Amino acid sequence: MGANQGANQKRRLTLKVSLNGTGDNPFQRYGLHCNPFPQLGRGKEFDPFERRVAQLGGAPIPHDAYQAYIREKLEGFSEEFVELCIARFVPGEYVTFRIVFPE
């Protein structure tokens, strides 16, 4: 295996998703509503989407209406992604997971 082993592999975009099922916003102590640095993507291309995903890890997600809340925040995202986020939500826990997309 040579130095160019990974040269032929496709680059992958990794998206970190956090779902705040707790009663506290971990960024509130800094005066913020969500993580200000969700991930460093391709700036203008990903920024609006990253901000919407980052909101799910800031202010607590209401337990009694979490499905509607997540659907509202992720309006325009694929149904599969929205359903994955809904399935991963756990009331009372701060859940983080990564999704890897082929680029």
Structural domain boundaries, residue 48: 24-102
Asked if residue 17 belongs to a domain, the reply is no
Residue 64 has pLDDT above 80, yes or no: yes
The count of domains in the chain is 1
> Does 60 map to a domain?
yes
Q: In terms of pTM, does the model score above 0.85?
A: no
Residue 66 is assigned to a structural domain of this protein: yes
Asked if 85 contacts 9 with a C-beta cutoff of 8 angstroms, the reply is no
- Is 91 domain-assigned? yes
Please check whether residue 58 is in contact with residue 34, taking contact to mean a CB–CB distance below 8 angstroms.
yes
Q: What are 68-78's pLDDT values in tens digits?
A: 999 999 998 99
Residue 7 included in any domain: no
pLDDT at 17: 84
According to the model, what pLDDT value does residue 5 have?
Answer: 46
> What pLDDT score does 25 carry?
87
Question: 9-56, pLDDT tens digit by residue?
Answer: 556 667 788 889 999 988 888 887 777 665 554 555 566 777 888 889
| Assigned domain for 39 exists | yes
Residue 18 lies in a domain: no
In a domain, 13, yes or no: no
Question: For the chain, what's the residue count?
Answer: 103
